[in-house]
Copies of this chain bind each other. A is one copy, B any other.
Amino acid sequence: MLTTIPSLSDIKRAHQRISGYITQTPVITSNNIDEIAGCNLYFKCENFQKVGAFKMRGASNAIFSYRPEERVNGFACHSSGNHGQAVSLASKLAGSKAYIIMPNNSSKVKVAAVKGYGAEVILCEPNDKSRVETCAQIMEETGATLVHPYDDYDIIAGQATACKELLEEIDNLDAIITPVGGGGLAAGTALSAHYIEPNLDFYIGEPTEVDDAYKSIKAGKIIPNTSTNTIADGLKTTIGEKNFEILKEHAKDVFTVTEQEIIDAMKLIWERMKIVIEPSSAVAFASILKNRKVFEEKNVGVIITGGNVDLTKLPF
Enumerate chain A interface residues (CB-CB to B < 8 A): 26, 28, 47-48, 52, 267, 270-271, 273-277, 307, 311-312, 314, 316
Q: Which residue of B lies closest to A113 (CB)?
A: B271
Check A311–B274 contact: CB distance below 8 A.
no
Q: Is the CB of A274 within 8 A of B275?
A: yes
Q: Chain B nearest CB: distance from A290 CB in Å?
A: 21
C-alpha spacing A52/B312, complex, angstroms: 23
Give min CB distance, A280 to chain B, whole Å. 14
Residues of B within 8 A of A312 (CB): 316
Q: Can you list 22 A-B contacts with CB-CB less than 8 angstroms, sorted by A residue number?
A: A26-B26, A28-B48, A47-B274, A48-B273, A48-B274, A52-B274, A267-B311, A270-B276, A270-B311, A271-B276, A271-B311, A274-B275, A274-B276, A274-B277, A274-B307, A275-B275, A275-B276, A276-B276, A311-B314, A311-B316, A312-B316, A314-B314
Chain B residues closer than 8 Å to A270, beta-carbon distance: 276, 311
Nearest Cβ in chain B — how far from A67, in angstroms?
28
CA distance A314 to B309 in the complex (A): 14
Q: Which of A47, A270, A276, A312 has the most CB of B within 10 A?
A: A276
Extra inter-chain contacts (7) besides given A26-B26, A267-B311, CB under 8 Å:
A28-B48, A48-B274, A270-B276, A271-B276, A274-B307, A275-B275, A275-B276
Bound together, the chains give a CA A277 to CA B276 distance in angstroms of 10
Within the complex, the shortest CB–CB distance from A154 to chain B, in Å, comes to 26
Instruction: State the CA gap A271–B52 with chains docked (Å).
Output: 9
Cβ–Cβ < 8 Å partners of A314 in chain B: 311, 314
Q: In angstroms, how far is the closest chain B Cβ from the Cβ of A306?
A: 8
What residues of chain B lie closer than 8 Å to A274, measured between beta carbons? 47-48, 52, 275-277, 307
